Structure 1
Amino acid sequence: MAKICLITPGHPSKNPRLVKEADALTEAGYDVDVIAGNYHPWGHKADRQYRGRSWTLQRVPYGAMASPLRRTYSGGRKRAAELLSRWLPGEIRAVNLRAQHWVIPELTARAVSVSADLFIAHYLPAVPAALRAAERHGAKVGFDAEDFHRGQFHDGEWDTPKARRTRWFEETYLPQCDYVSAASPGIAAAYADELGIEEPTTILNVFPRSERSERTPPDELREEHPGCGISLHWYSQTIGPDRGLEMVVRAMGQMQDRSEDIPRLTLSLRGGWADGYESTLRSLAHSVGLEDTQIRHLTRTPPDQLIERAAQHDIGLALEQAKSRNRDLCITNKIFAYLLAGLPVVATSTKGQRFVHQHAPDAVRLCSVEDVDEVANQLLQWVRDTTDRKKAAAAACRVAENRFSWDVEKETLLSTVRSTLE
C-alpha cells in the first residue's frame, strides 16, 4: 500500500481535521507519517494523546518549544525577510518563504527526508515543503484548504505585505498541486474562480460518530453543565472579540428583561481568553443585568472530547461574524460538533452556515449577523419550549448521523486520494 505524508506547521491537537484525515488513511491501509510544527507547551502536551495511533508523528520545534538559539535564529530570520520583502522589487521566492512563516525551511527539510507517494499539505506554509518533497521523490501533492486564505484579510489590509505574500503563495503553489480539497463549498468555488484551477473537492469538517461517547472522564463530564437552567455553549481556541459573544450577552439581557419566567441562562465558553477580553465581556454582562456566574469559563480540552462535552449543554452557538470574505464562506467545525452532540443550533446567516441550514432546517435557526433582537427571539423559542427544543435536538442527531458525519465524509477523501495515486 502507498505511503502518505501529511504536513502542517501547527500542532495536530489544534487541527482535528488533520487527525481525522490521518486516522482515515491508516484505517484504509495506507502507511501514514505526520510532520507537524511544535511551538506551544499546551499543544506539545496535548499531542501526546496520539502516541498510540497507527500513524507516526514527527515534530519540528520552533517558538517556545525550540532551544533559545534556534528560537532567536528563526525569529531573526523571519523579521529580516519581512523587512526585505517590503523593499525588494518583485517576488523573491527565498525571501517570501522565510517571511511567511518561522519554520518553512525546517518543514521542507523534514519532508524531503520522508519517502512517500503522496504529500498532503495543511495550511499554506506546508505547501512548498510538500511540493519540494514530492519533486525529490517523484510523488503527488495535495493541499487541504480549511480556509480561503486570501479572504482572511479585511479591505484595508488587502495591500499589506502579508496579504500580498498570501496571494503569491496561493498563485504560485496551489496550481502545482495534483488536487486541492476545501472545507466548504464556498471556499472551493472561490479558489476555482480566483486561481482558475479545477474546483476543489469539498470535504466538510465534520466529526466521527464514535466521538459521541466514552471519551471523557465521567467526573469531568458531570461538571460540564452549570447544574440548573439553560446552558448556551460556545467554543473555540480563543475567546475574543468579533466572534458574536457580545451579541449573545446582550440577547441574554434582553431575554431576561422580556420574560421573567424563563429558566436561568448561562453562557458556557470553552477556550483560552484573549488578552483583556474576559473583563470586557464580564463588564458588558453586568451592564445588561447578568450575574457574574452567568458567564462560565471552561478550559481547553482534547479535541476528541469536544462532542461528548458539548452534549451536556442545551443549545449551541455558531455566531460567526462576516468580517472578512473567509468568515462568510467557511463552515467552522463548531456547528458540526453541536449537531453531532445533539444540540439545537442558533447560527448567524453567513454563506457557509446557510449551507448547513439547508440540510438541517429543523435543527439550525439562522439570525442576521449583529442583530441582537433576532438572536434573542430565536433563542427564546427554544428556551421557553422544552418540547420544541427536544425535537430540534433529535433533528440534529439525525442529520449528523446521515449527512454531517465523518463516517460519511471520509469516503470523499479516500476516493480523492485513490484517484490521485492512480
Structure 2
Amino acid sequence: MKAKITIITSSQPSLNPRMVKEADALAEHGYDVVVIGQYWNEWASKTDQNLLQQKKWKYIQVGGSPKDNKTAYIITRFIHKAARKLLNKVGTNFGIAELSMGRCSILLYKEALRQKAQLYIGHNPGGLAPAIKAAKKLKVKCGFDAEDFHRKEYSDDIKHPDVLCKTFLEEKYFPHADYLTTASPLISKEYKKIFPNLSFSTVLNVFPKPENIVIKDSKANEPLKLFWFSQTLGHNRGIAEIIEAIGLVNSPLIELHLLANPREKNIAFFNGLAASNNILPHQISYHSPIPSDQLFQYASKFDIGLASETGFNTNNNIALSNKLFTYISSGLAVLYSDTQAQADFMKDYPDCGLVYEKTTPRSLANALAHYLNNREDLNEAKRASFKAGQHILNWETESQKFLAVVQNTLSA
C-alpha cells in the first residue's frame, strides 16, 4: 500500500469535479485516499450518494447539514456568519480570515488531524488553511490546488472583503505548501508574479475520456443547437450577449439550451430579453442539473458549446473553465469569447471552433451565422474537438502531470 493522502475541501464532491478527478487518480494508483468536506446544498447531497458508491476513496462530511446533525450545522453557520461580520470590522487577523472563508474551517482541521496522512491536499480557499495547518502540525507534506486565481475570483477591488481575505490566506499559507498546482497557464503566471520564489505547476481541468459518444453531423435546415451549462444561471455569464446575438441572426433554426440550477427571476429575465430580441419561445430551453458523469453524453446531443466568459474580473479573464473542456470531450464545436486565456487556447486548437469579441454581440452573431450556413465547417469543428479530447485534452493524459507532482513531493 502506498502513502495515505487526505484531501480537504469546503465543498462537496459533486460540486468539485476537479477534486474528484484527483482523488480518483490517486486511488487508482494505489494511494489510500480520504476526502474531507462539508455540506453545501441538497442537490449535491443527493448526487453524492450515487457518485460515492463508485469510488475507491472514502468521503467524510463534517459540520452536519439541515437534515443530519442539524445542531452542528446551526452552530457552524453562526460562527461563520459572525466571522464574516468581524472580517469587515477588525480585519483578517486572529484567525478571522480562516473562520470566514469556510463554515467548517475548525472541524475540517480537526478531522484532518484524525486522518493522519503522509500528504494533505487543500482544494478551494476553504481547504487551504486546514490542509497546511494539519500537515505542519503532523510534520508531513502538503499541497494546494488553485483551480482559480482565488484572490480575484469575485472582484478586482483590492479593498473588497473577499479579496482581502483570500490575499491574506494565500500570503500566509502558500509559502508553507510543498507544492502548488493551478488550472491554467495564465493563473500560474499571475501567481508567479506575486510569489516569485514559489513554483506553480499547471494541470488543466480536463476530463476522463467519455465512453459511447457518437458525433452526429449537423445538416442544413436542421436546428442549430447551442449548449451552455454551469452550476447557476445568472448574470455576468455572457448569456445576455448570446441571446442578443441569436436575435441578430434572426433565424428560427437556432436553439439555445441552458443547463443550470433554475432561478425563477433569472429565467424570467432571460425570457423577457429573448422576447425583446424577437426570439420565439421554442428557441430557448432550460434544463435542470444532472450528475457530472452523465454530462458528456447529454452535451453530445448539441452542436455548439458556448464558452461565453465575459472577462468581468482578472480570474474570469485568465481561467480555462471546465465547460470549455466538457464541450471538447463531448465533440461540440466551441464558440469562445476572447478572454485572454481562451484566445491563447484557441491559438493552440484553432480547428475546434471560433473566437468572438466578448463585448460585441454582432461578432458572436457572425460566428453563429457562419455555422448555421456552413454545416460542413461546423461538422469539421465538432470532429476536431472530439479528436483533441480523445488524444490530448483528457484526464488520462493530464493526470500524469498531477501524479508526478505528488510522487515528487512525497519522495523529496
Structure-1-length-normalised TM-score: 0.91
Q: Name the CA distance, whole Å, in 1 between partners of 2:38 and 2:321.
A: 22
Moved more, 51-60 or 338-347: 51-60
Question: Which of 51, 54, 72 pairs up with 1:52?
Answer: 54
Confirm or deny: 8 A CA contact 1:233 1:317 kept in the other structure. yes
Moved more, 332-341 or 349-358: 349-358
Q: Please tell me whether residue 64 in structure 1 is matched to residue 66 in structure 2.
A: yes
Q: Which residue of 1 aligns with 2:242?
A: 248
Q: Distance in 2 between matches of 1:65 and 1:96?
A: 28
> Which amino acid counterpart does residue 233 of structure 1 have in structure 2?
F
Alignment of 1:23-422 (within 5 A): 23-48=24-49, 49-62=51-64, 64-65=66-67, 67-88=69-90, 91-155=92-156, 157-209=157-209, 211-213=210-212, 229-256=223-250, 264-274=253-263, 276-422=265-411
User: Are 2:179 and 2:200, in contact at CA under 8 Å, matched by a contact in 1?
Assistant: yes
Do the aligned partners of residues 91 and 240 (structure 1) sit closer, same or farther apart at CA in structure 2, a change above 3 Å counting? closer
> Is this contact kept in 2: 1:189–1:199, CA < 8 A?
no
Cα deviation 1:249-273 (Å, max 9, x = unaligned): 11111111xxxxx561110011113
| Structure 2 spans left out of the alignment, 5+ residues | 214-220
CA gap of 1:275–1:63, structure 2 versus 1, over 3 A, is farther
Identity percentage of aligned residues: 31
CA deviation after TM superposition for structure 1 residue 378, in Å? 0.7
- 8 Å CA contact 1:147, 1:183 repeated in 2: yes
When residues 107 and 275 of structure 1 are mapped into structure 2, their CA distance, relative to the original with a 3 A threshold, is: farther
Q: Which stretches in structure 1 are left out of the alignment for 5+ residues? A: 215-226, 257-261
Given the superposition, is the C-alpha separation of residues 44 and 194 from structure 1 closer, same or farther in structure 2, using an over 3 Å criterion? same
**C-alpha separation between the residues in 2 aligned to 1:388 and 1:39?**
42
Query: Equivalents in 2 of 1:18, 1:303: separation in Å?
Result: 13
Secondary structure at 1:269's aligned position in 2? strand
Read off the aligned partner of 1:310 and give its amino acid letter. Answer: A
Displacement of 1:146: 0.4
* C-alpha distance 103-204 of structure 1, shift in aligned 2 (>3 A): same
Partner letter of residue 228 of structure 2?
W
The alpha carbon displacement at 1:416 in A equals 0.5
Using the TM superposition, give the Cα deviation of residue 386 of structure 1 relative to its aligned residue in structure 2, in angstroms. Answer: 1.4
Task: State how far apart, in whole Å, the 1-side matches of 2:88 and 2:380 are.
Answer: 56
Distance in 1, matches of 2:58 and 2:140, equals 19
The aligned counterpart of 1:224 is none
**Which whole-Å CA distance do the structure 1 matches of 2:208 and 2:383 have between them?**
18
User: Per-residue deviation at 1:308?
Assistant: 1.2
In structure 2, give the amino acid aligned to 1:411: Q
Q: Please give the per-residue CA displacement for 1:6-36, whole angstroms capped at 9, x wherever unaligned.
A: 1111011011111111111111111111111
Q: How much has 1:81 moved relative to structure 2?
A: 2.1
How many residues align? The count is: 404
How far residue 66 of structure 1 moved from its aligned partner, in angstroms, is 5.3
Distance 2:309 2:3 in 1: 39
User: Structure 2 CA distance, aligned partners of 1:362 and 1:391?
Assistant: 8
Cα distance, 1:63 vs structure 2: 5.3
- Look up the equivalent residue of 2:229 and give its one-letter code: Y
Looking at structure 1, the residues matched to 68 and 298 of structure 2 have their Cα atoms a distance apart, in angstroms, of 33
SS at match of 1:158: coil
Deviations 1:183-218 (A, max 9, x none): 000111111111334231000000111x2438xxxx
* Residue type of the alignment partner of 1:84: L
Structure 1 contact 208–406 (Cα < 8 Å) conserved: yes
- For the 8 Å contact 1:10–1:38, the answer to whether it is kept is yes
Structure 1 counterpart SS, 2:6: strand
Equivalent residue, structure 1, for 2:217 = none
The secondary structure found in structure 1 opposite 2:230 is: strand
Which residue matches 2:218? none
* Post-superposition offset of 1:182: 0.2
Are the aligned partners of 2:12 and 2:39 in contact in 1 as well (CA < 8 Å)? yes
Structure 1 CA distance, aligned partners of 2:72 and 2:22? 31
Deviations 1:107-145 (A, max 9, x none): 111111101111111011111111222123322101000
The 1:275/1:148 distance shift into structure 2, 3 A limit, reads farther
* Alpha-carbon shift at residue 5 of structure 1 (Å): 1.0
Of residues 320-329 and 360-369 in structure 1, the stretch that sits farther from structure 2 once superposed is 360-369
The root-mean-square deviation of aligned C-alpha atoms, in Å, is: 2.0
CA–CA distance in structure 2, aligned partners of residues 252 and 91 of structure 1: 46
CA distance in 2, matches of 1:367, 1:8: 35
Partner residue in 1 for 2:216: none
- Give the letter aligned to residue 391 of structure 1: E
Q: Which runs of 4+ in 1 moved over 4 A?
A: none
Mapped partners of 1:197, 1:65: distance in 2 = 46
Rate the CA distance shift 1:51–1:241 in 2: closer, same or farther, 3 A. same
2: CA distance between counterparts of 1:85 and 1:236? Answer: 30
| Shift in alpha-carbon separation, 1:295–1:119, aligned structure 2, 3 A | same
